Amino acid sequence: MLAAISPEVRPQQPITPDWVKNAVFYQIFPDRFARSGRVTGLNLQAWGDQPHFHKYMGGDLWGVIEKLDHIVSLGVNAIYFCPVFQSASNHRYHTHDYYQVDPMLGGNEALTALIKAAHERGLKVVLDGVFNHASRGFFQFNDLLEQGDASAYRDWFHVEGWPLSAYDDARPAGYHAWWGNRALPKFNTGNPAVRDFLWDIAEYWIKQGIDGWRLDVPNEIDDDSFWQEFRRRVKAINPDAYIVGEIWGDAHRWLAGDQFDAVMNYHFTRPCLAFFGAHTLDHPMNERSGTGFVPPMSAPEFGQRMTEVTQMYHPDVVAAQLNLLDSHDTARYLTAVGGDATAYRLATIFQMTYVGAPCIYYGDEIGLPGGPDPDCRRAFPWDREQEWDNTTLNLTRQLVRARHATTALRQGTFDVTYAEGDQIAYARAHAEGNAHVALNCAHHAARILLTGVQAGSYTDVLTGLTLELSGDTEIEVPARSGVVLVPARAEGIV
């Protein structure tokens, strides 16, 4: 394994893309988002059937293009896609060919058309990069299975002993695989040929016009120099490309400015479950899901923790963190909190008024439920619009619009000014004007103290009402709701 760059020559200050600091992301699981009907001759589940580990719904990238109006209507300006490359799995983390978009998704032609259509609408496109492992169908691994020790690609993987057993669980696999899953042979990234292959993939798709990479389990390529060169090559082509890693724990190692721009911010996710869903958390559900057991939090505990999260990394990194309430790897937030839609709405208010880049998991905006994988990967119910939670949908649109219109909500500091019981208030301070947010998680109305309010007119994003405020003042906040006060001069917020 190659040595990492020594700490003394690492960047002194991370440089992250400015556009991410002003972005709202939308995460799409391609097989379940939208089916165009242009890809035919497939054995598919009926759209909307119960998700299955091995069955396909048939969503494709042409379908995404057809639904861009919905995505744009939310106000989002970036899309993060789960893997799109050729694979024998509905989630496509089992990559067969990194240079070919899965034919079921419409192939390379569909991705090219999607990138063009998205960019014309001001949407960035970030793809999922699965570089730690490939699949049994990956050509180089298939050669290994066919040729054994004589394979030209023997050293692309970690062979432990012969013969290899890629399918018979009763026998030792004979090679390293991701978490022992023999369907996912782990690359030998110490091999220069493998490194060049993976770096070339990263460069190739950036040249095709994508705006960044979300990196799957990048900590399992335990080699700083690999990711340092990955970043150098990607940024040489597009300095504004976004590199975000799936790191669930402490990520200082990767966020010094020479590897990733940010990570998926699960340090944001768990406290949002713990506070807004404190009274309805489905603990067995969460323990079966990626989040694990989540102990409830009070407002003071939540305020302290979210302040700590803003201080974990360099401010430019914090501003580029991908803040998610759930994902394809966890139960959906709505289900994790026992179906309490008010908890999801409160969490969404917080997400859209906190530091970092919010990320909406497809379907959450209309109240789509879902338990642990594969249930969290349900088909988007385009044909059942009467079942959509339009209260949540309209709230999402209001909040995203306000975030784009208010500099303080995107770039301001985060300062908790009140935290008692089930109520919290915080300020987002910025030279262009401050914003103040008060959230009431109780089942009764409450008066919440706002402190240090600059004198002036403020509009409540959620009601459209304009208030004249200054200094310290109490405001009435309805049960299980909030108040988001922004300078009234901000345009387009309601």
Q: Which of 31, 128, 224, 246 is flagged as catalytic?
A: 246
SS3 309: helix
The token duo for 93 is 């983390």
pLDDT for the residue 13: 76
What local confidence, expressed as pLDDT, does residue 290 receive?
85
- Assess whether the previous peptide bond of 374 is cis (omega < 30° from 0): yes
DSSP secondary structure of 158-186:
-B-SSS--SS-TTS---B-BGGG-TTSBB
Helix (H) or strand (E) holding 436: strand 435-440
Closest CA to 14 of 352, 312, 358, 403: 312
Burial state string for 319-328 with b = 16 or more CB within 10 A and e = fewer than 16? bbbbbbbbbb
Strand partners, 263: 245
Helix (H) or strand (E) holding 451: strand 446-460
CA distance 141 to 230: 23
Strand partners, 126: 80, 212
Q: Is 216 a catalytic residue?
A: yes
Residue 313, Ramachandran bin (φ over 0: left; ψ between -120 and 50: alpha; else beta): beta
Sign of CA dihedral 240, 245, 249, 251: negative
395/51 Cα distance (integer angstroms): 28
* Candidates 60, 128, 216, 316; catalytic one: 216
Distance CA 401, CA 10 (A): 38
Beta bridge partners of 157: 187
Query: How far is the CA of 404 from the CAs of 319, 325, 352, 476, in angstroms?
Result: 14, 20, 10, 26
Question: Residues in the chain, how many?
Answer: 494
Tokens of 200: 């070339």
Q: What is residue 494's predicted lDDT score, i.e. its pLDDT?
A: 54
Q: How far is CA 133 from CA 74, 129, 175, 212, 239, in A?
A: 35, 10, 12, 20, 27
Q: What is the pLDDT along the chain (494 residues), one digit of tens a residue?
A: 333 433 444 555 789 999 999 999 999 999 999 999 999 999 999 999 999 999 999 999 999 999 999 999 999 999 999 999 999 999 999 999 999 999 999 999 999 999 999 999 999 999 999 999 999 999 999 999 999 999 999 999 999 999 999 999 999 999 999 999 999 999 999 999 999 999 999 999 999 999 999 999 999 999 999 999 999 999 999 999 999 999 999 999 999 999 999 999 999 999 999 999 999 999 999 999 888 899 999 999 999 999 999 999 999 999 999 999 999 999 999 999 999 999 999 999 999 999 999 999 999 999 999 999 999 999 999 999 999 999 999 999 999 999 999 999 999 999 999 999 999 999 999 999 999 999 999 999 999 999 999 999 999 999 999 999 999 999 999 999 999 999 997 555 55
Dist CA 293 CA 222 (whole Å)? 27
Task: State the CB neighbour count (10 A cutoff) for residue 228.
Answer: 17
| Helix/strand/coil percent split, the chain, to 5 | 35, 20, 45
Two structure tokens written together for 357 = 């880049």
Rounded CA-CA distance 219/266 in Å is 15
**What distances in angstroms separate CA 450 from CA 80, 113, 170, 222, 358, one per listed residue?**
36, 49, 64, 47, 25
Predicted pLDDT of residue 489: 72
Nearest CA among 131, 108, 107 for reference residue 218: 131
Q: For residue 99, give the nearest of 84, 115, 114, 88 by alpha carbon.
A: 84
| Active site annotation includes 246 | yes
Predicted model pTM: 0.96
